[in-house]
Amino acid sequence: MKVSVVIPAYQSEQTIGEVVDRIYQTFSNREEEVEVIGVDDGSRDDTFRVLVEKTKIYPSMRAIRLQENVGQQNALLCGIRQTQGDVIVTMDDDLQHPPEAIPVLLGALERELDLVYACSDQKICRLDRSLGSKLRDSLFSHLFEKPKALTLHSFRAVKGNLARDAAQEAGAFFYLSAALMKRKPRMGNISVALYPRPMGQSNYTKRKLLQLFMKIWIYYSESRLAAVLRHPGDPYDIVRSVQSKGDRR
């Protein structure tokens, strides 16, 4: 089995190198083949340089740089479209998601699931009290009949064909969980250790969250009004792509 790990990266020169190293260390004694695709979302620091350096070390590493900052979801879209894996894992660039937990996600996915989300413990799996999560869960329950007990998270494992099919969504806005849930996958949660952000903070304000959820409704609801408000076009442009010499794609 081949596992593709997609990492949207922004302003993470101090952490992204360790994330990549730990992914390859995790798979060094496992049977699965792994490829890592790091997508630099228009960083102003040396994030892309660090990713390129890793392509010189690991034979299945790929570094992609987007023309401008288009957001985590669009960077995920770009990365997923480049994958070849039977399973795709998505994770953050800031060490909140331990690469050593990836096998836990893979094990959960084998239990007749198509999509599995990490959560930090069973209590949080049952009830996430943040405003953003409440709004998102309410919207996803309305649009996709999301189970109340299911917690969404950016650290997830999904069957590769399902994710690549979702990544064919056309339009100027993309949200991975919405695109996946439209396809009614078998979903679940698995408890793993998640860690606090080591530096910086989330860019999501209440205003940005409301704008985000309005876009999800516009691009993923069945409403005729929403369909009129949608805009065509791809939401990102690649300016540079570097793959290791061992990557023959």
Query: Residue 15 and residue 204: Cα distance in Å, rounded?
Result: 20
Query: How much is the mean pLDDT over the chain?
Result: 90
Architecture of domain 2-243 in this structure: Alpha-Beta Complex (3.90)
The model's pLDDT over 69-83, given as tens digits with 9 standing for 90+, comes to 999 999 999 999 999
- State how far the Cα of 188 lies from the Cα of 125, in Å rounded to an integer: 10
CA gap 151, 61 in Å, rounded? 30
The pTM is what? 0.91
Q: Which tokens go with 100?
A: 């050593």
pLDDT value for 157: 98
pLDDT computed for residue 249 by the predictor: 61
Q: What are the structural domain ranges in the chain?
A: 2-243
Asked whether residue 127 carries a pLDDT value surpassing 50, the answer given is no
Q: What is the pLDDT of residue 210?
A: 83
For residue range 82-125, list pLDDT tens digits in order.
999 999 999 999 999 999 999 999 999 988 899 999 998 644 44
Decide which of 158 and 169 is more confident.
158
> In percent, how much of the chain has pLDDT > 90?
74
Structure tokens at 81: 């479209």
Q: Is 65 helix (H, G, I), strand (E, B) or coil?
A: strand
Model pLDDT, residue 219: 94
Evaluate whether 40 touches 66 at the Cβ level (below 8 Å).
yes
Asked whether the predicted pLDDT for residue 10 surpasses 70, the reply is: yes
Is pLDDT at 144 greater than 80 in this prediction?
Answer: yes
**Range scoring the smallest mean pLDDT among 7-16, 156-165, 184-193, 238-247:** 238-247
pLDDT-based confidence at residue 169 (cuts at 50, 70, 90)? confident
220 Cβ neighbours under 8 A, 6+ residues apart: 143, 144, 175, 178, 179, 182
Per-residue pLDDT at 65 exceeds 50: yes
* Averaged pLDDT, 148-152: 90
